[in-house]
Structure 1
Amino acid sequence: MRIATAKQTYLADEALFDTRTQRTWLALLAASLATFPFVADAYWLYLACLVAINVASATGLNILTGYTGLVSLGQAAFMGLGAYTVAVMELRLGTPVLVNLLGGGAVAMAGGLLVGIPSLRVKGLYLAISTIAASFIAHFIFANWEFTGGTTGLQVPPARVLGVDLDTSFKIYWLIVPVTALMVLGAANLFRTRIGRAFIAIRDRDISAEVLGIRLLRYKLLSFGLSSFYAGVAGGLWAYFFRVVTPESFPLIMSIFFLAAIIVGGMGSILGSILGAIFMTMVPELLKLIVGWLPVGGDALRLISPVRTIVFGLLIVGFLIFEPHGLAEIWRRVRRFFHLWPFRT
């Protein structure tokens, strides 16, 4: 019979993976991710890379919206800032890949800090509208500055690491997935720190947080900055993956996509960011599969884009009504069921 014992040290109590079962599952996940490229074909590798990029960006948005309570519809714009920064640094400076990604994250972070300034005075719908305005400003810059290539955009050479060109999905997988894993672990650790707890306090009751000594402007700006940094790095990975960056690469619908991902996955949950990004990335692929089964003409594929938008909206409304805590809560209930089985209550 196993007897539960209290944690003996503060570090043990604060450990991110505090049980042998969790560490075992983490090791199995790492082994699966390392094995996957050798058993998957090009299509599934493409989807895996795309999912990883979306997980990184969704995690950043969850830091801002899920944990701090600040609504943003500008995630695509910050991804665009990161992507264009990486493209320019790669083409004109030839700096290493990791330096470019950090540079893309830094530029996006600067943009996020600028956009986050109104967050002290406005919130909710008004803050969302201000981030939409930032998206249109970013799109104007991307489309009209010669530095960004104008409407034609920029062609990005393949990422080069240790003299190897990452010009296939198999090769770039080894860049995108490890970077995303580090970003997810960083976000998970963030909320065991004073900064992360300040974010949560602001979300729950910002006036009470200020009374307790939390400086609202500082932490709101920091949340915007971290979220934008994640988006910028994700945008840089996106640029290396697709190897072309245009103003139309980051439309407003992409920001709605990431908002839908964290709502469906579960706001205020790192697991929710992962599950939501995976689920929402696979929805268009399932739609393509379903359309392929239907006895319709080839023109039906043109219907997928508007149908996808409708599906995103229906998923948001459905999860808000029937499961407001998202897929993460469903996963937690499943875990509790098997943890307590057969002694269910």
Structure 2
Amino acid sequence: MLYREAGQFKTTYAQDMAMFPIRQDRIAFILLLALAFLVVPLLAKLQIWPFGGEYLLRAILIPFLILSLAAIGVNILVGYCGQISLGSGAFMAVGAYSAYKFGTGINIPLAWLGTAIVIPPLPVLPSILLGGLMAAFAGVLFGVPSLRIKGLYLAVATLAAQFFFDWVFLRVPWFTNYSSSGSVNAPALNFFGLTMNSPIERYFICLSFVTVFALLAKNLVRGNIGRQWMAIRDMDIAAELMGIRPLYAKLTAFAVSSFIVGVAGALWAFVYLGSWEPLAFSIDRSFQLLFMVIIGGLGSILGAFLGAAFILVLPILLDQVPHALGIPISVETVSLLVFIITGSLICYLLIVEPHGFARLWSTAKEKLRLWPYPY
């Protein structure tokens, strides 16, 4: 119930704790879902770049959605809990290779017992979710040092996870079903008896995962555990004096973050790549996800999408500008200009608004709410 008293708007506690407490946010969310589920598939059928064709789905929207999901996981750990991590690419790899093993069957010989542990191949959906669980387990193991160290020292500790899993998936052939090159092929995308191979079907798979996990993350960070994460982020000693257990708060942040990142890694391997090798989840991927979170906005679910759009989509659009305007220019020069423009925009953004695009959007939204009386 909303009422006004002495020039002040007041709301109930339930309204303040709602996932979307402001009406314009609810309307914007519904319109965004309608755009993603209805309008984009229609535009994809048009052969007018950049609003049509398989290129829009395969090269832009599908990787954008998957990396946005991974950025949400990184933001939970870095933005909400304040634990710097450089091992996101490794946890994506754990999710991808674990999902691959569950999807193709597991055979662990126990020579000393004269038997073996055999798990038959699982459907794709359970394989992806179990891959996320294995990534969560790995995240908890490498999150234990966060109980003793923090800041750049913790970043170096999580960087060890990146190097460790890069070595494991490259040198231990069991994870790749004894492939000599280390590359593997994902099983068929069979969901509930339906094989989904077309770009539009793969797009809907990614969109469904991203929608569900984004809403779960949004609901999680506004609850009790989310408040514990933010208390640890702001001042861990004061949070501990208030009764918050750092062990529980930090390790749950690592577990939830790594689970989401692991699911994103499985989607990246199964839905986007189809076949991959350990280099697909190198340290460059970890830095890319961290930059998405910083540019998009720390401690913001929306910031994960904005950061992914800036890092992934904007360079593709800039690369097509000379061609659209009919400017004769070489490919090498265009690539160089894209790097220069993107880097300049990053510097300008971090100077003008260090809190990223999410803060800019929040400021614009507040001005829109007060319009036409901004003061």
TM-score normalised according to structure 1 size:
0.91
Q: CA deviation at 1:60?
A: 0.5
- Which residue does 1:30 correspond to in 2? 33
- Which residue does 2:15 correspond to in 1? 12
State the AA in 2 paired with 1:91: T
Contact (CA 8 Å) 1:67, 1:267: kept in 2 or not? yes
Q: CA deviation at 1:3?
A: 4.8
Change (3 A) 1:21 1:210: same
Q: CA deviation at 1:45?
A: 1.5
Determine the C-alpha separation between the residues in 2 that align with 1:125 and 1:199. 19
- Which residue does 2:136 correspond to in 1? 109
Q: CA deviation at 1:19?
A: 4.1
Equivalent residue for 1:78, pick from 91, 112, 115? 91
Structure 1 unaligned runs (5+)?
none
Equivalent residue for 1:64, pick from 77, 84, 93? 77
Equivalent residue for 1:200, pick from 211, 227, 230? 230
Determine the C-alpha separation between the residues in 1 that align with 2:164 and 2:338. 26
State the AA in 1 paired with 2:139: G
Q: CA deviation at 1:111?
A: 0.7
- Which residue does 1:138 correspond to in 2? 165
Determine the C-alpha separation between the residues in 2 that align with 1:28 and 1:195. 29
Contact (CA 8 Å) 1:263, 1:320: kept in 2 or not? no
Q: CA deviation at 1:311?
A: 7.1
Equivalent residue for 1:324, pick from 344, 351, 354? 354
- Which residue does 1:175 correspond to in 2? 205
The answer to whether residue 262 in structure 2 is matched with residue 235 in structure 1 is no
Determine the C-alpha separation between the residues in 1 that align with 2:26 and 2:295. 27
Alignment partner of 1:152: what SS? coil
Determine the C-alpha separation between the residues in 1 that align with 2:199 and 2:100. 19
Change (3 A) 1:290 1:39: closer
Q: Percent identity?
A: 37
Determine the C-alpha separation between the residues in 2 that align with 1:111 and 1:318. 37
Change (3 A) 1:173 1:224: same
Determine the C-alpha separation between the residues in 2 that align with 1:165 and 1:98. 12
Kindly report the root-mean-square deviation, in angstroms, between the aligned alpha carbons of the 2 structures: 2.3
Q: CA deviation at 1:294?
A: 6.3
For residues 272-325 of structure 1, give each alpha carbon's deviation from its aligned partner in whole angstroms, at most 9, with x where no partner exists. Answer: 112111221113313532575764545x28x94x98787776665543332111
The answer to whether residue 61 in structure 2 is matched with residue 48 in structure 1 is yes
Structure 2 unaligned runs (5+)?
45-52, 106-119
Query: Which is worse superposed, 314-323 or 233-242?
Result: 314-323
Determine the C-alpha separation between the residues in 2 that align with 1:70 and 1:326. 18
Change (3 A) 1:341 1:23: closer
- Which residue does 2:152 correspond to in 1? 125
Contact (CA 8 Å) 1:156, 1:239: kept in 2 or not? yes
Contact (CA 8 Å) 2:77, 2:84: kept in 1 or not? yes
Q: Which has the larger radius of gyration?
A: 2
For residues 44-73 of structure 1, give each alpha carbon's deviation from its aligned partner in whole angstroms, at most 9, with x where no partner exists. Answer: 112111111011100010000001111011
The answer to whether residue 268 in structure 2 is matched with residue 259 in structure 1 is no
TM-score normalised according to structure 2 size:
0.84
Query: Superposition pairs for residues 264-343 of structure 1, below 5 Å?
Result: 264-289=295-320, 295-297=328-330, 300=332, 304=335, 317-343=347-373
Q: CA deviation at 1:163?
A: 2.2
Determine the C-alpha separation between the residues in 1 that align with 2:306 and 2:352. 17
Query: Which is worse superposed, 274-283 or 110-119?
Result: 274-283
Change (3 A) 1:313 1:138: farther
Contact (CA 8 Å) 2:3, 2:10: kept in 1 or not? no
Alignment partner of 2:86: what SS? coil
Aligned residues: 340
Contact (CA 8 Å) 2:169, 2:182: kept in 1 or not? no
The answer to whether residue 225 in structure 2 is matched with residue 213 in structure 1 is no
